[in-house]
Structure 1
Amino acid sequence: MEKELHQAAIKGSVPALLELLKQDPQILTQTSSESDTPLHIASILGHSAFANELLNRSPELAARLNLQGSTPLHLAAAKGCVEIVKSLVLVNPDLGLVWDRDGLTPLHLAVIKGRVRVVAEWARVRPEATRVLTQGGDTGFHLCVKHHRLEVLKVLVECNGKDDDFVNWRDSDGNTVLHVAVARKQLEVISYLLDNTKIEVNAQNSNGFTALDVLSHSTRDLRGSDIKESLQIAGAPTIINKAPSVMFDRDTVQVSTTMQPMMSKRRSLRQLVFKPKKKEVDWLGRKRNSLMIVASLIATVAFQAAINPPGGAWPSDYLKDANGNPVDKPHRAGQSVMADTEHRHYGQFMIFNTLAFLSSLSIILLLVSGLPIKRRRWMWVQMVIMWIAMTALTGTYFMGLIFITPEQHRRGYLYHVTGVSVFIWMSMMAIVFLGNVLRAIIYLLRKYGCMKQKPTDDSLYEDYDDL
């Protein structure tokens, strides 16, 4: 009968529930502990009539927890079932203060899921429930920002916006909701908080950083400029004296500092004059991605050219003439026409095409092999292979163009323009190749002491110190 009761809860069938209660009036009290009760099922599926009947028959079901530590109110709030939320709160108003195993109350789940109607009803009936913190120390304001719920934030501000202490509440890391919003660059949220609450724009977190300090060390973009302007209009200082290193993850905002004093004027010059270098691994990563894309494209083109050469293939066999005698130039269906009619050009075509195909496959193999080839010298080797592949593909194109052009047009204007264009392209490839070879030679000469090293930033600092 317990299985039938769960099936009735899934369907939301009140007649089926009444029939089961006639057969066993105690069936609602016999469900196993820590499992989903019929009220849990009805709450998550939105069967309000079924849930009301259960509450009328057995109100204690409202306080039962499932394996996740959730009450039926947690599930109804997360799903946005306003009618069931009203019924559950009416039966037991204290359910809105219960934490589940994740440290969240039903209202917190409604905020995270963006259930505006549920939060609005809660704020109207039990406004004190909107002030309960998560076990991690977050307010509903923090959850709204972390989960991008501006409309829910507006409801909470209307309920608690006049309480300066609560609006400026700090989480476990000492961050106010403004710190979190600035870290995530939520311009709309920041503008709303500054215009509609008494948020402290210069409040400091546990590391002593204001919202503007956090913004100053995030990625610069147009949105960041607008946020900075809004903060300064609201009273943030125009000069920033701190240098925090800000790190954010998806669910928390942690602000830490790696401030180090400037030990000498040499250190000051380094920080004021020279911009920090970008990480080499990022440059190499972008180069590897570009090489993979280009190599895959060249391999695809070369493969198609090999199985479908210029002129196509013979449609049928031609081995004997009409009298049954062997012909001078026999061929079979599917064989290349170019191989029979332009034997020399076909050989050149296949040499270039095979070279392009194997070179591109070599690059792909190196990139996916897992070998430690992340240094610049290995990237230079791959660039040379790419140069070979592109040069060979250009030769393939030119040989195919010669074959498909009729003999009488091979001296025409367009033909010569094409030939000159290909020659210019090949010259450019040669210049690039020679430039890279020259760079490699200079690198080796400097490495083994045969050439003077390039001046570094440190040598400039030494000259400054001498002054």
Structure 2
Amino acid sequence: MAEKKLYDAARIGDVATLQQLLQTNQHLLDVVSFPCLKNVLHIAINQGQEGIVEEVLKINPELALELDSKNASSLHLAAARGNVGIAKRLLAIAPEMCWWQDGHDMNPLHVAAMKGNEAVLEEMLQLDILPATVRLHRGQIVLHLCVKHRQLRTLMVLVAKLDNLVNAKDDDGETLLHFAVMVNQLEIVEYLKENTKLEKLTKNSTGKTALDILNESFRYTSTYTKMKKILKKYSYQSIFQHLPRYTEMTMVAAVLIATMAFQAAVSPPGGVWQDDTKDETTGLITRHAGFAVMATKHPKTYKNFIAANVLSFISSTIAILLLSTAGSSDRWLFVSVSTCFVWVSMAAIGATYGASLVMTNPNMVEFAFRNVVFIVLSIFVPVIYYLFISKVMGKRVDKIKPNCVNVRVDQ
């Protein structure tokens, strides 16, 4: 009879009855256990009866440390209920409960995040942020849990605290964005698009991006058009994410070409005259020491050689100037212009190489410089064209992929 009265008092929040029962039997809280190994504190927390919780904790704070049949602590129950007042009282008694794991290997922060109780979550994060970094089933983190259970508010709270984990992958290589698409959450995708730290084109273990998953599984949903528009923008944004690396590679190419052009100018093919040579009749110097031999033997081809070499050197140095002054910024225009100058310098250095062959190879004496230019352009232009075509075709791949995928959303 006393157990039934105690249960009812805890359920409805009757503090007076609870006090009366404890005056009759002061050990009642210690000996009474309800189904599923729940004590009176668990019952009161489940019903949100803060007055009963306060009274019980005054009398026997040790009850806060007891677990129920699911291995859940009283803080797990408060996190699921979303009662901030109760959570504060429990944390004051045993703050280490933030680390305790229930039968599903989830701590109270995981439970609060999954249930969307951001007030309780913020209270626990103020005390200790590290429990939120504990990995869950298949390597998932609490951010994955928020997305899977469509809890945008708790996701926002956690991202503000754990922004360094927004790119975390689970054991299948899937990120927050993969999960957001798999549960068809347009609202979360829209939120994630604003996060500059999120790597939005990451592929999972099967080589699929979030856009691939969308195209394969959600093509006929009402959110498809809006979600696809957001995800396609990421392909353009990725250019800027990889801009520093691209700038570095372009700079290396420009420096290498400038070095080659400079070397060709100071050490022309065929070498230079070592001594002055005078005309015996007039006494005038016809060959000056240090002048290119080919300037005398093949004057026309040598002029073209010098023109191509100068063009290559100037183009590459302009590219170096642009990259060194603005390449580290997020201005794609500077890198685009620099890339064009590098392309020009590549073509010009190719023509310089061809002219060198013509002037130094006896079998190519009659080979005109215009033929060299034609060969260089016939190779160079198709390659550049292919690069552009491959980019365009790459954006259309999603249209020819099979419309099927295995979507996995674990509990």
TM-score by length of 1: 0.49
Contact kept in structure 2, 1:168 and 1:176, CA below 8 Å: yes
Shift of 1:156: 0.7
Aligned to 1:32: 33
Which residue pairs with 1:133 in the alignment? 135
The C-alpha deviation readout for 1:39-70, integer Å capped at 9, x for no partner, is: 10111111112102212221221121112222
Is it true that 1:248 corresponds to 2:407 in the alignment? yes
- Residue 4 of structure 2 corresponds to 3
Q: Which of these residues, 226, 230, 241, is aligned with residue 227 of structure 1?
A: 230
Distance (whole Å) between structure 2 residues aligned to residue 18 and residue 184 of structure 1: 49
**Taking structure 1 as reference, are residues 135 and 218 closer, same or farther at Cα in structure 2, changes over 3 Å only?**
closer
- Indicate conservation of the 8 Å contact 1:178/1:201, yes or no: yes
Deviation at 1:158, TM superposition (A): 1.0
1: CA distance, partners of 2:200 / 2:29: 54
Which residue matches 2:59?
57
In the alignment, which residue of structure 1 is the partner of 2:357? none
Amino acid at match of 1:219: F
Q: How many residues align?
A: 249
Aligned residue for 2:386? none
Structure 2: stretches of 5+ with no match in the other structure: 240-390
Identity %: 37
* Cα contact 2:193–2:230 (8 A) shared by 1: no
User: 1:136 Cα shift?
Assistant: 4.4
Q: C-alpha deviations, 1:132-172, integer Å up to 9, x for none?
A: 333443222111111111111111111111x2xx2222223
- Spell out the pairing of 1:60-459 with structure 2 (5 A cutoff): 60-161=62-163, 163=164, 166-220=165-219, 221-235=224-238, 239=394, 245-251=404-410
User: Any conservation in 2 of the 1:122–1:130 contact (CA below 8 Å)?
Assistant: no
Q: CA separation in 1, counterparts of 2:184 and 2:230?
A: 7
Q: Distance in 2 between matches of 1:135 and 1:183?
A: 17
Contact residue 215 and residue 228 of structure 1 kept, 8 A: no
The residue number in structure 2 matching 1:420 is none
Higher normalized contact order (CA 8 Å, seq sep 6+, divided by chain length): 2
Partner Cα separation in structure 2 for residue 157 and residue 218 of structure 1: 27
Alignment check: 8 A CA contact 1:12 1:49 kept: yes
One-letter amino acid matched to 2:188: V
More helix by share: 2
Shift of 1:5: 1.8
Letter of the 1:25 counterpart: Q
> What secondary structure sits across from 2:194 in the alignment?
helix
Q: CA 1:197–1:70 in structure 2 vs 1: closer, same or farther (change >3 Å)?
A: farther
CA–CA distance in 1 between the matches of 2:85 and 2:195? 30
Structure 1, unpaired ranges of 5+: 253-467
Given that 2:33 and 2:40 are in contact with CA atoms closer than 8 Å, whether structure 1 keeps it comes out as no
- Label 1:209 to 1:249 Cα distance change in 2 as closer, same or farther (>3 A): closer
SS at match of 2:406: strand
- Structure 2 SS opposite 1:10: helix
Question: Contact conserved, 1:96 with 1:129, CA < 8 A, in 2?
Answer: yes
Match of 2:345 in 1: none
Conserved? CA contact 1:212–1:231, under 8 Å: no
CA distance in 2, matches of 1:6, 1:78: 20
Q: Distance in 1 between the 2:97 and 2:196 partners? A: 29
* Counterpart contact for 2:166–2:197, Cα < 8 Å: yes
Residues 91, 97 of structure 2: 8 Å contact kept? yes
List per-residue Cα deviations over 1:354-405 (Å, max 9, x = no partner).
xxxxxxxxxxxxxxxxxxxxxxxxxxxxxxxxxxxxxxxxxxxxxxxxxxxx
What corresponds to 2:24 in structure 1?
23
Q: Distance in 2 between matches of 1:197 and 1:92?
A: 38
